[in-house]
């Protein structure tokens, strides 16, 4: 599996990440099977958040089920997030530090590889974030920092006071929810696709060495479920994906993954599945490089215009 640098830092990571937001009710053996399948498929990065399962529960299930020793822990990248407090947001220094300590205890590890601020806090005081990041970096509790769902302006605000590189921005992206890509293709046209909704966030992340992590890579983007297999609303798209899947002898999930990883921004794909077979299917797409014509065919089939 292709390894990519996170934000130009010394941290190299796989192009597919396994998100573990749905493991709260899984047994130890099921979690070990899921993680083992990911590792066998070349996925060595695991994504958490303090709110997954509520109150660090998914982190705790992960740490308890795996019980990794120091040697095993060094072979993987553990990422977690903080800042959401069920109805409000909290990027205060006190909360960031407290959340990290709780995550470390739950995950049963001495350090977190990547800490993301989880969605923007409208009341953010960048100096508070900088203070927390400095303390976490100096103590060795966190090695790299980033954000999720942040705009260009919000990133620029943090960059103005935070010394550490912001190595990642986790953003929703799939072939049917690809405004950050599609709006530039239709620039200067009187078409809905040309409306700028993302303020050039993808190009800004490329310019600043911030790796985009695509969450919900198989969801249609409106909260009503996946586009894969939905032939009623996405018949043409599924027909193209299925044909390409047959040509490459892979599952449709691999084509949906490959469409994202083909982009030269070196985007990481965050899987949210708990099914080992889907992990294997999606991971196969990371090593598949779609041709330009194929990439644009999928793009058009998703409903976007290519002038």
Which residues are marked as active site?
52
Cα angle value 63/145/31 (rounded, 5°): 20
Which residue is associated with the tokens 């470390």? 104
Identify the CA nearest to 47 among candidates 62, 67, 36: 62
Tokens of 227: 């586009």
Pairing mode of beta strands 166-172, 3-5 = unpaired
Helices and strands: H and E segment counts in the chain: 12, 10
Count CA atoms within 13 Å of residue 132 on its CB side. Answer: 27
Please state, in angstroms and as integers, the Cα–Cα distance from residue 291 to each residue in 31, 173, 207, 241, 244, following that order: 36, 20, 24, 13, 11
191 in helix, strand or coil? coil
Residues in the chain: 307
Identify the CA nearest to 118 among candidates 148, 90, 98, 95: 148
Count CA atoms within 13 Å of residue 145 on its CB side. Answer: 25
């Amino acid at each position: 599996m292709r390894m990519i640098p996170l934000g130009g830092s010394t941290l190299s990571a796989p192009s597919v990440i396994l998100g573990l937001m749905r493991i709260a009710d899984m047994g130890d053996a099921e979690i070990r099977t899921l993680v083992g399948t990911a590792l066998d498929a070349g996925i060595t990065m695991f994504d958490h958040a303090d709110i997954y399962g509520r109150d660090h529960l998914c982190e705790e299930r992960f740490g308890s089920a795996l019980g990794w020793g120091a040697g095993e822990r060094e072979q993987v990248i553990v990422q977690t997030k903080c800042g959401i407090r069920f109805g409000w947001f909290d990027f205060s220094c006190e909360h960031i530090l407290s959340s990290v300590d709780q995550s470390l205890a739950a995950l049963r590890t001495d350090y977190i590889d990547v800490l993301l601020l989880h969605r923007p806090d409208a009341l953010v005081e960048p100096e508070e974030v900088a203070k927390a990041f400095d303390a976490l970096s100096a103590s060795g509790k966190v090695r790299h920092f980033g954000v999720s769902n942040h705009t260009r302006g919000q990133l620029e605000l943090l960059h103005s006071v935070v010394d550490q590189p912001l190595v990642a921005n986790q953003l929703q992206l799939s072939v049917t929810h690809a405004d950050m890509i599609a709006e530039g293709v239709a620039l200067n046209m009187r078409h809905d696709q040309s409306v700028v909704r993302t303020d050039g966030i993808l190009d800004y992340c490329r310019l600043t060495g911030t790796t985009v992590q695509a969450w919900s890579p198989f969801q249609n983007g409106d909260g009503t479920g996946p586009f894969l297999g939905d032939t009623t609303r996405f018949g043409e798209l599924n027909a193209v994906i299925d044909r390409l899947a047959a040509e490459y002898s892979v599952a449709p999930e691999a084509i949906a993954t490959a469409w994202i990883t083909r982009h030269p921004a070196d985007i990481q794909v965050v899987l949210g599945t708990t099914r080992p077979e889907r992990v294997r299917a999606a991971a196969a797409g990371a090593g598949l490089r779609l041709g330009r014509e194929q990439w644009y065919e999928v793009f058009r089939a998703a409903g976007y215009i290519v002038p």
